[in-house]
Amino acid sequence: MQPMRSFPSLTMGCLALACATLAADPAVTPTPGTERPMKSARELIHQQAPPIVASDLLEKTTSDNSRLVLNLATQRACLMLGEQVCIDSPMSSGKRTGPTPTGKFAILEKEKDHRSSTYGNFVDRNGRVVRSGISMKVDSAPSGTHYVGTPMKYFCRLTESGLGIHAGSLPGYPSSHGGIRLPEDMAKLFFARVKVGTPVEIRAE
C-alpha cells in the first residue's frame, strides 16, 4: 500500500503542482537520446503519486457538504469541500474494453461489504477456487461449483447497471471493467464522507 501524505488546504490548481512534484522521479527520466524501453506494469505502479490528504479540510467535510471529482486522464479521485480538495487519491478506472463513462452522477447506494454480481470465481463446496477471474456474462459454472463475487469493499453505486467506486487493486493504469478502484484506506475515507445523493463528476481530463 502506498504511503499517505498530508498537505495543508489545496485548491485544484496547486494540487496539480503538488501531484506533479510527487510523481517526478529523476531515476526514470531519460536524457535526450538515451530513451529507455517501455516500462513494465510494476514500474508504472511506482509512478502513481501517493494519496494526498488535507487534514484540516477533512475534519470539516461531512456527507452533507462533500462532492467527488474523478479524472480519467490523471487517474486521480478527489473528495471535495466546495472548490477545495480534501483528499486526492490515485485510482484505477475502466480499461479500453470496458471504459468508465464520463459525466455527472449521484451516489445511488452505499454498501460496506459489497461483492460483484458479475466478476469473481467459481469455487467448490469446500471453498476452493476452481476457476478464477470469471465473468457471469460469458462463463458457466463447472459441475459442483458455485459463483463467489469479487469483494468490492466500501462500494458506492453510481448507476443501476453496477458502476461504482470501491476498494480494489491499482496497477498504475486503467484496468477495471468500468468501475473506479481506490486504495482500501482511501475508499474507507471516501465512504465515510458521502451519502446517497452525493454529487459525483467523472471527467475525461
Residue-wise pLDDT for 12-48, tens only, equals 554 554 444 444 444 444 445 544 555 554 555 457 8
Lowest pLDDT segment from 25-34, 90-99, 121-130, 195-204: 25-34
Residue-wise pLDDT for 153-190, tens only, equals 999 999 998 899 999 989 888 988 889 999 999 999 99
Domain boundaries, the chain: 5-203
Residue 196 neighbours by CB distance under 10 Å: 12
0.75 cut: is pTM over it?
no
Superfamily of structural domain 5-203: L,D-transpeptidase catalytic domain-like (2.40.440.10)
Q: Report which residue type is found at 205.
A: E
Asked if residues 153 and 187 have their Cβ atoms less than 8 Å apart, the reply is: yes
Asked if residues 186 and 87 have their Cβ atoms less than 8 Å apart, the reply is: yes
Helix (H) or strand (E) holding 23: helix 12-23
How far is residue 175's CA from residue 92's CA, in Å, rounded to a whole number? 6
Share of the chain above pLDDT 90, in %: 49
3-state secondary structure of 85: strand
Instruction: Residue 165: name the closest of 66, 43, 22, 57 by CA.
Output: 66
3-state secondary structure of 137: coil
- Which residues, in sequence order, are CB contacts of 54 under 8 Å at separation 6+? 6, 7, 8, 9, 10, 84, 85, 86, 87
Given this model, what pLDDT does residue 131 score?
A: 85
